[in-house]
Amino acid sequence: RVDNGRVIVCSAVNNVGSVSTRVVLSVNLQDDRPPPLILQGPINQTLPIKSVAILPCKASGNPAPVISWYRDGIPVLTTFRVNITDSGTLTIADLNKNDDSGLSTCVASSKTGKSTWSASLRLDSPTN
């Protein structure tokens, strides 16, 4: 922008005296905004087989980020057992070792960048 780098002077005067300060105007472009911030991500868990896993991913940013999930680097697809809510929470029902254990990664992305948060999901056989 044309205004970038201009010196702005602010002065205040009263019956006690006066003060002034100078600042240099710095205009940030839209692309200079920070990437999304993940406010709450998944935690490491060990759950029984056949149970339900709930992995949150809450993020903020401007523009609003899009949430996606990966398991061991592979995109998670929704199925009759796997759901990703509009708010970003990954829910997996009827857990099984072959498909569901591993490193789950939440990715919050927008045109300003991306942020990630990962957690390990381990599955154990029920002890009853």
Q: Is 12 domain-assigned?
A: no
The number of domains in the chain is 1
Beta bridge partners of 13: 18
**49-95: per-residue pLDDT in tens?**
999 999 999 999 999 999 999 999 999 999 999 999 999 999 999 99
Q: Which residues on adjacent β-strands are paired with residue 102? A: 121
Confirm whether 92 is domain-assigned.
Answer: yes
CATH classification at residue 99 = 2.60.40.10
pTM across the whole model: 0.73
- Cα of 29 vs its chain's centroid, Å: 22
Residue 40 belongs to domain spanning: 32-124
Q: Are 45 and 119 in contact (CB under 8 A)?
A: yes
Residue 16 included in any domain: no
Q: Look at residue 110 and tell me if it is in a domain.
A: yes
Is residue 23 situated within a structural domain?
no
| Residue 114 is assigned to a structural domain of this protein | yes
